[in-house]
Amino acid sequence: MRVTVIGSGYVGLVTGACLSDLGFKVVCLDKDEDKVKMLQAGEVPIYEPGLKELLSRNHAEGRIRFTTDAQLAIDHGDILFIAVGTPAQEDGSADLAHVLSVAAMVGRNLKDFKLIVNKSTVPVGTADRVRAAVKHELTQRGMSSEMFDVVSNPEFLKEGAAIDDFMRPDRIVVGIDDGIHHEKSQRMMGDLYASFNRHHSRTVWMDVRSAELTKYAANAMLATRISFMNEIANLADALGADVDQIRRGIGADNRIGYSFLYAGCGYGGSCFPKDTQALVSTAQAHGQLMSVVNATEQVNERQKTLLVDRLVKRLGDDLTGRKIAVWGLAFKPNTDDMREAPSRVVIKSLLERGAHVTAYDPVAGHEAMVALKLDCAGQEALLNNFNLVAHDMDALHGVDALMVLTEWKNFHNPDFQAMKLSMRTPYILDGRNLYNPDALADLGIAYQGIGRRN
Ligand code: UGA
């Protein structure tokens, strides 16, 4: 079986790289010529640990190719993955323009049976619309409209751990609808993922709509756990309790489990915010309320401003003349992704209050500048008070406070004595609960975590 992956973004590249590493001959198609040239030259447009090595090895060994040639790509694959973006629109619903234009392109180029696999995160009902778009093109060309099937195979990859998540999945969700191709499609998807089902079957088979909704339900559940813990943390702060002890206390219950219970300065990224909004908007379109998911979003928006509110409480609303350091800009460690990163809200709010901000991130500096320019459009002068530094300690000279917004590993054990000497006032607002409040109190550093007793 040969595989074509349409869309060389994050999901497409990881899928293509991993499937080629499993021995499949893969073609990655993208309409962006510069991106394809870059990939052909061995460059990877995104930062994901292990991806570059995987791509270059399989490229050198002839198992993966990159092209802008749609006909070549469609001819190549028995299985065609659609892995293009579904950005959120103004009203929160997912924009399907890319997915549907790919579907039409497939229809225009189809010569024999292909299995079309939806990998992009798409609202329930999208597979039907993909099916209709392909059929329309085939009918225009006077060809049989039974030459393909569409299945749903949502991805559950975490940025920063995507290769490992793909290669060692907890489960593989495959949605296939009844119809003349059902058996064939199931066999092809079974063969595609056979490597992961050797020990026991990790594939969960279901119908297409359930598979599409499973993806949103998973992300909404995870986001809800985080917002729930953030609310508990805020209450713990008010009551003098400690959220980390509470986390252990509830995590020990098998039904709850330990993961995704970390309170912090809010979740970000390209998935949770977009998918929770899309779920709410899908529900609305069907006359349903998603009260829990709605609340999850509201709590998260509030949580992003929590650290600034605390700083303001201590230093006053006008931060003119104040210097604030920020450690960590990416929405989470091991990525340069700035989409919906809490740091964007925090930094803009500090700049608007007149503060001077010095920031450090191990990899996201460039992306952060791009994002902040966007956020400060029309208020460009704000950025005169912002600068990036190349080393974490360089951010601290003469500052009134340090805000830690991303839990990069190298922030875990800093030299607190040196930090204290460098800062004008030793005050740490820890948005990721990295530090021990008691140890910092002993060192004479003022400390505020999220829901930590101190
Ligand atoms: C998330 C899901 O975890 C993946 O399963 C899913 O495939 C992916 O979205 C997607 O839809 O494509 P990702 O956005 O890469 O993956 O990042 P996560 O590691 O889930 O973190 C999301 C955010 O939640 C980060 O801002 C992180 O700091 C925050 N978080 C996570 C917390 O605040 N507390 C936690 O306990 C865990």
Query: What is the per-residue pLDDT across 410-452, written as a single tens digit (0 to 9) for each?
Result: 999 999 999 999 999 999 999 999 999 999 999 999 999 999 9
Task: Please check the confidence at residue 83 and state whether its pLDDT lies above 80.
Answer: yes
pLDDT, position 145: 86
Give Cβ neighbours of residue 439 (< 8 Å, ≥ 6 apart). 416
pLDDT, position 443: 96
pLDDT, position 393: 98
- List residues forming the annotated binding site: 30, 35, 86, 121, 156-159, 215, 260-264, 268, 274, 332, 339
Rounded to the nearest angstrom, the distance between the alpha carbon of 331 and the centre of ligand 1 is 9
Rounded to the nearest angstrom, the distance between the alpha carbon of 165 and the centre of ligand 1 is 13
Task: Please check the confidence at residue 301 and state whether its pLDDT lies above 90.
Answer: yes
Rounded to the nearest angstrom, the distance between the alpha carbon of 382 and the centre of ligand 1 is 30
Tokens describing residue 263:
């309170």
3-state secondary structure 294-330: HHHHHHHHHHHCHHHHHHHHHHCCCCCCCEEEEECCC
The residue whose CA is least distant from atom 2 of ligand 1 is 158
Task: Please check the confidence at residue 319 and state whether its pLDDT lies above 80.
Answer: yes
The number of the ligand 1 atom at minimal distance from the alpha carbon of 270 is 14
pLDDT, position 91: 82
Higher pLDDT, 120 or 184: 184
pLDDT tens-digit series, residues 364-390: 999 999 999 999 999 999 999 999 999
pLDDT, position 299: 98
Tokens describing residue 141:
């060309």
% of the chain beyond a pLDDT of 90: 92
Question: Which of 18, 28, 265, 271 is flagged as catalytic?
Answer: 271
The boundaries of every CATH 3.40.50.720 domain in the chain are: 2-205, 231-448
Helices 272-285 and 208-239 cross at an angle (nearest 10°) of 120
Task: Please check the confidence at residue 285 and state whether its pLDDT lies above 80.
Answer: yes
pLDDT, position 384: 97
pLDDT confidence band for 87 (50 / 70 / 90): confident
pLDDT, position 56: 96
Residue from 271, 277, 338 to probe ligand 1 pocket by mutation (most atoms less than 8 Å from CB): 271
Tokens describing residue 68:
């802008």
Task: Please check the confidence at residue 92 and state whether its pLDDT lies above 80.
Answer: no
- List residues forming the annotated binding site for NAD(+): 30, 35, 86, 121, 159, 274, 339
pLDDT tens-digit series, residues 4-19: 999 999 999 999 999 9
pLDDT, position 94: 81
pLDDT, position 93: 79
Task: Please check the confidence at residue 453 and state whether its pLDDT lies above 90.
Answer: no
Task: Please check the confidence at residue 121 and state whether its pLDDT lies above 90.
Answer: no
pLDDT tens-digit series, residues 339-350: 999 999 999 999
CATH number belonging to the domain at 2-205, selected among 3.40.50.970, 3.40.50.620, 3.40.50.1100, 3.40.50.720 = 3.40.50.720
Average pLDDT over residues 270-292: 93
Name all contacts of 298-303 with Cβ < 8 Å and 24+ positions apart. Answer: 299/227, 299/230, 299/231, 300/223, 300/226, 300/227, 300/230, 300/266, 300/267, 300/272, 300/273, 301/266, 303/227, 303/230, 303/264, 303/265, 303/266, 303/342
pLDDT, position 421: 97
The residue whose CA is least distant from atom 5 of ligand 1 is 156
pTM over 0.80: yes
Q: Which residues line ligand 1 (CB under 6 A)?
A: 121, 155-159, 219, 222, 226, 260-262, 264, 267-269, 271-272, 275, 331-332
pLDDT, position 330: 97
pLDDT, position 79: 98
Task: Please check the confidence at residue 62 and state whether its pLDDT lies above 90.
Answer: yes
Average pLDDT over residues 250-254: 98
Could you tell me which of 123, 169, 174, 173 has the C-alpha nearest to residue 150?
174
Say if residue 83 is exposed, middle or buried (CB neighbours under 10 Å; 0-12, 13-18, 19+): buried
Rounded to the nearest angstrom, the distance between the alpha carbon of 337 and the centre of ligand 1 is 12
Task: Please check the confidence at residue 454 and state whether its pLDDT lies above 80.
Answer: no
User: Which value does ipTM take for this structure?
Assistant: 0.94
Rounded to the nearest angstrom, the distance between the alpha carbon of 406 and the centre of ligand 1 is 13
Higher pLDDT, 433 or 453: 433
pLDDT confidence band for 88 (50 / 70 / 90): confident
pLDDT tens-digit series, residues 222-236: 999 999 999 999 999
Asked about 28 being catalytic, the answer comes back as no
Helix (H, G, I), strand (E, B) or coil at 151: strand
Task: Please check the confidence at residue 191 and state whether its pLDDT lies above 80.
Answer: yes
pLDDT, position 235: 98
Class of domain 231-448: alpha beta
pLDDT confidence band for 90 (50 / 70 / 90): confident
